[in-house]
Amino acid sequence: MAANQITSAGQAVAKIAYLASDVIISVQPSLATDSEFSSHLRSSAASNTTGVVAKGIPEIIPVKHNADPLLSVFHPIRRGKLVSVTTTSSILLKSIPHLYKLAQYPVVLHVALSPSEYPDYSDITAIRQCGFTFLQSEDIQEVQDLALSAHALAIKSGKGVIHFFDSANIARDNPIPFGSKELVQNILDLEAVRSFQRTISEETSLYANDGRTATMTVAGSQAGIVSGEATGRVSPAETKALPPGTQDTSSVGSSRRESSLDSGAASASSATSVESVASKSITSDDIYIFINQIWANIRDATGRSYEAFHYSGPQAPEAALFIFGSDPAQFSQEIEAAPAGDRFLKAGIVTAKLYRPWLGSQLAGVIPRSVKKIAVLEQVRRKTTKWGPLLLDLLMSLKAAGGASPAVVGYQLGYLEPATVKQALRGVMQNLLSDAPIQNLQIGLPEGPKITAGDHKLMQPDVENAYMKVLRQLFGDRLYIANQLGASNAGVSAEIASSPEYGFGSLLARSEHRKRFVDEVQAAAKSTDFITNNPQTWLSKWALAAGDASKANSLAEHVIARLSTDGSPAASKLLSNKALFYKEAQWLIGSDAWAYDLGNSGVHHVIASGANVNMLIIDSQPYSERSTSDASRRKKDIGLYAMNFGNAYVASVAVYSSYTQVLEAMIEAEQFDGPAVVVAYLPYDSENDSPLNILQETKKAVDIGYWPLYRWDPRGEEKGEENFKLDSERIKKELEEFLKRDNYLSQVMKRHPEFSPSLSESYGSEVRQLQKRKAKDAYSKLLEGLLGAPLTILFASDNGNAENMAKRMGNRGKARGLKTMVMAMDDYPLEDLSGEENVVCITSTAGQGEFPQNGHAFWEGVKNSTDIDLATVNFAVFALGDSHYWPRKEDKIYYNKPGKDLHARLLALGGNAMTDCGLGDDQDPDAYQTGYAEWEPKLWQALGVDKVEGLPEEPPPLTNEDIKIESNFLRGTIAEGLEDTSTGAISASDQQLTKFHGTYMQDDRDLRDERKAQGLEPAYSFMIRCRLPGGVATPEQWLRMDEISTNLGNETMKLTTRQTFQFHGVVKGKLRPAMQAINKALMTTIAACGDVNRNVMCSSLPQHSQYHADVHAVSQKISDHLLPSTTAYHEIWLKEDDGKKTQVAGDAVVDHEPLYGPTYLPRKFKITIGIPPHNDTDVYAHDIGLIAIKGADDRLEGFNVLAGGGMGVTHNNKKTYPRTGSMLGYVPKEKVHFACEKIMLVQRDHGDRKNRKHARLKYTIDDMGEDVFKGKVEDIWAEKFQDPRPFKFESNIDTFGWQKDENGLHHFTLFIENGRIEDTADFPMKTGLREIAKVHTGEFRLTGNQHLILSNVSDADLPRMKEMLKKYKLDNTNFSGLRLSSSACVAFPTCGLAMAESERYLPELITKLEGVIEENGMRQDSIVMRMTGCPNGCARPWLAEVAFVGKAFGAYNMYLGGGYHGQRLNKLYRSSIKEEEILEIMKPLLKRYSLERKDGERFGDFCIRAGVIKETTMGKTFHEDTAELESEEE
């Protein structure tokens, strides 16, 4: 079918509305469900089609049908935007308060009548007096033409137009060609359009009448002439001089309101040659004139004619049918096809194209004078009067016409199948032509077909199931949702049944029913109607506790059991209502639609009643949308609204922020005796949004304070508790300042209401501007009095390189006598740029050629500004990038793109370039310094300071080695930084030192931009990593870790790829308490990070507990032996406020480092132990890998020692590479800790301390040679490595499920996806593990693949453990082999090094691959897949069979060919690919693997054998023979 064919009413309307509107409000069943219009609107926008009315692409605003959609019209229409609405008729009755006001604006509502198949025209008749003009279309061509007519009429008259039609009936029409864009341009009055677009209305009210009426300008002499009945209120006339010959024009949108006293000024002197003009209201006759003009234009252009009333049929009929319903054409066809002699052969048909204003005088001229009887067929299902509205209109018109009027008979037009139309027509005519016709005869069926798939049924969005699942978990069978969607409510529509009013009434009735039941029970308890005596006793107990849920429900089972065995009629009667013995948890569930004025009455009723009813109201508006939402779409803050009543429990919760707080709030709400309101945040753009998007939006809203988490119990003080509990961690400290500011703003808003909608939104940006101004002014003041030319240096930097370069340039400029000022681009007030003399911009490159975060706003301002004049400004730009970072030819444009774009833009703004744009390239010998060394002298020359003599020698930059030397054995100024409450951060040097103490400073990257926009520092927090040799923890330690994460962290724990606990989101003020709590659990964090030996890993080996115990003891011994000796850890973290140490674990007593020395190691150092045949700790990936060798007695004998493994790489830096460990030989178990020490000491003394990217042991060994390195170790050890013993690895994944060891103890390996321990509505994992730890008597083993083993379960405890695992869904290991073999690092939002998502994205990617896995019969097949957010390799991706390593947000390098046993590195297959490309590659590759693999052949081996990828034989060849060669830049 041709692309320009129109096949449906929705398509026809969408095309016209798109061309004829500035803004289109697309009313949809849900944000994820299209209406019949929305997909066509989106299609036009996606093709960048420009409108006729809009200056560019019209704005399309999707709105849910139950979210008071017409509120969205006020904001744009009052700002000079022509607005149309596409909707079904279901919203009309609820929107009546808006319709009366909108009728005086040129807004067009395109209304598809509902329900489909048999729509109810009473939705139209019920609003016929609201002041709108109504146009009706009956076929697809009319829909297109009258849609255009509606827009033209709205523009011409300044009044609202409702265009309605039956889409389902029109769907049977043949396709038509789309009218050209030129036709739309010709029909619309574009001069009137531009005139309206220039008007801005000052009106702000939504419901109160503000006196606005649509008016037109006429000659003063015509002002008093009434040409027809006005449809709106008439404003008093206004006059002004009108030159002779000026024609009347309509004033689209006059909102003047004058007093009646002014009307006397409307006179004009006929003695003058200049006549006055007046403004008069638009009347019905004016509408008729306008629409006829429009239809005449359409007729001239297309040949198609339209008129207000349309008659078809014979010229002199005896009878006529006036049809107001779905398909008059069906009746016309039957009449035309009628054989001679049929009674309805001579009947005509009348329909209304212009339904309102009703022009009776025009109708009289349409109906032939021969007509003696008229049948009025009205498809009005909700009839509230005896006579139908159209029949009354017709009677009034005929009466006004005078003379003999035809007899009029009314009919109720029901649903007609096409085959029954003829029969129905005969029935109409037979009754009409009878001597005594029956009025209001039903024609057809009273009900239409049931709702079809095309109609929208009210449904709860899937994303909202998060809260529903929490309710079900908490209350189980007790839960009763009064307004449950899908419940059976006889005779009540789903929309009504889901409302708070209906639900509240239902609950009241249910409560009364239970009260009556309690009375019956009390009476029965005193009666003698039972056969046995047992029931009376239990009934009495129950009646006393009936109001207490816990007591009543515990007694209910006993009562029911006694009644069931009694057998008396009295017992049977009570058992017929046995559900009432249980006290329900009664809830109403609603959305933020209840927060709008038109949906809020039910909420009011519930709270005001004081009844014991719980409400859960889910707010779905994303925080990021709150600034773009107009002031007129205001919602009530239901939480504050409810608190003002003083009798309600109120909580504000967010399941994606604090699951624990949601549980507490719901439990407290249920326990509260009175109304309880839980307002729950769940932001989404559409109902199928991903959990990741919802999480990010929630975090922003909660962090900034847009959605504070709190609980309010008005009776709290009676229980000795606070009434108000603020649960939002970050805003607690800012609350007092916020309240002061809020109070001030409230006063301003009261004095200046016009500021109200925007004041709170603009506050953050104003603060930010003020901060920029103060910073620059303070800097300028420091420079006052200095000699030399000014030089402003602006930088944009993600990793610190550009910032350091800018600061160094600033110092060099000062040395040359310049007045230098250095600041981040986004901290600079852009309005000052034109006044600068010399400006240097230095920027690195982020993402796909993007500016770093602290340069985004600056670039957007420079790029989009039209008023910056740089004619007097000298500038220079230096850019930092990597020419090989984007290897594909088409992506080369990203190389140094920010710097190149900025240079070009500054030139375009008139700036004078002092140098060419400097380009620093990481591929040069000295990286970006090579290009900088060439560029900087040219800059000094341009500034005239290149020949300055006697320049001071620059101090070398501070390195990590300097920081360690000056730290006084890792003390630095950490203690002082912890006491500084002015910031959530610590100094840069201390950030390096705290790593040695087991903690990293981070900030939440989901919140960076938003906090920056609010003028706040980043959301700093700390990650804490425990030191847990071998990954073994006791149940008591598990409980302490759980408690720490809940009370001091972000309520989650991470099981890391190095077998330990990791906490995130620990704010600075809680850092010391967290460290102390870890120490009290007999654990520590020292040396969990930093340039020391870190946590020693050990295979979990659940099958052989004694052997595991032997090996684990060695891991503990190595860990203790290589522990740093400084007492700084204990001084900083384990002292109480009184200065006393509270050390429990650890025994550091000296203040020197016999092993490490004052500079510790060049880089981090990692040791792991693997126990064949399971390489579950990746022994080849670490600095030292120990392979356990079992003796003849099945006990540990010794270890094969690997050295030089390591994962860290820098993208496109071929000097960096991953490496597998080299075999040094065998060492007995008694000496292995000494061998590890000597290997570490050789690295200490020979590792590269100048280049940290070359400082790991792998480079030391490759630089020295394996034999030389081994010799040096043996020299200082005074021992020799023995020949390695034979061993065999079979896998490096975990074995899930139950296993039994040689001692008869049981072990269960749980699947913990990517190691994240948390509670969700679907999976209460954290709670379950906590409850298990309370009763478990064995141990927990953390695996190197981020999973967990419940170890040492006795036979006696086994049934209980199985039951608890099942209860909390922890026993589920029925996942695909791909998912079970996957692993990911944390990445976003907390890791500062992350370039892309990892932990939060890998599960989604696997889900999208599992389809092809299952289709090809590989669901159980293990394929090792790993993902990291950067190339540092925390999840050891370089050993995976398939790996994805983040390169930019949403883009990954893909690697193939790793060894399944973890013994072989993979190799680059594709660079910088996104999800679509990943799926395009992986799906056919997996299918090919399933078809072509050999028996037992692993995926990585297959990729090499099949020639998909070359094998990597050693680390140095990692970058050779890749599948995707980097193209040279042209």
Q: Which residues are catalytic?
A: 1025, 1094, 1164, 1166, 1385, 1391, 1430, 1434
DSSP per-residue codes, 476-519? GGGEEETT-TT---TT--HHHHTSHHHHHHHHHHHHHHHHHHHH
Task: Give 171's DSSP letter.
Answer: T
Residues 6+ apart with CB under 8 A from 1488: 1506
The pairing of beta strand 309-312 with beta strand 347-352: antiparallel
Give the CB-side neighbour count of residue 209, counting CA atoms within 13 A: 9
Dihedral sign of CA atoms 205, 207, 209, 212 in order = positive
| Residue 90 near residue 382 (C-beta atoms within 8 A) | no
Strand order in the sheet with 1339-1342: 1032-1033, 1339-1342, 1348-1353, 1306-1310, 1297-1300
Exposed, middle or buried, 1355 (CB in 10 Å: 0-12/13-18/19+)?
exposed
Task: Give 1386's DSSP letter.
Answer: -
**Backbone torsions φ then ψ of 1084, nearest 5 degrees:** -145, 170
Tell me how far apart the alpha carbons of residues 1253 and 1356 are, in angstroms, rounded to a whole number.
54
| Residue 620 near residue 682 (C-beta atoms within 8 A) | yes
For residue 1161, what are its two tokens?
Answer: 């190691």
Report how far apart the first and last C-alpha atoms of the chain are (Å, whole number): 45
| Residue 817 near residue 788 (C-beta atoms within 8 A) | yes
Dihedral sign of CA atoms 1369, 1375, 1379, 1382 in order = positive
**Chain center to CA of 1088:** 34
| Residue 570 near residue 527 (C-beta atoms within 8 A) | yes
| Residue 1457 near residue 1503 (C-beta atoms within 8 A) | yes
**Backbone torsions φ then ψ of 1413, nearest 5 degrees:** -60, -50
Question: For every residue of 1182-1227, which 3-state class applies, written as one string?
Answer: CCEEEEEEECCCCCEEEEEEEECCECCCCCCCCCCCCECCEEEEEE
Tell me how far apart the alpha carbons of residues 601 and 1204 are, in angstroms, rounded to a whole number.
71
Indicate the SS3 state at residue 1072.
helix
Given the structure tokens 């702000």, which residue do they identify? 204
| Residue 372 near residue 435 (C-beta atoms within 8 A) | no
CB count, 10 Å around CB of 992? 21
Strand partners, 1027: 1084
Strand partners, 1219: 1206
**Chain center to CA of 481:** 27
CB count, 10 Å around CB of 1336? 23
Task: Give 449's DSSP letter.
Answer: P
Tell me how far apart the alpha carbons of residues 623 and 683 are, in angstroms, rounded to a whole number.
7
Strand partners, 618: 591, 680
The pairing of beta strand 999-1003 with beta strand 1196-1203: unpaired
Read off the amino acid at residue 347.
A
Tell me how far apart the alpha carbons of residues 269 and 738 are, in angstroms, rounded to a whole number.
63
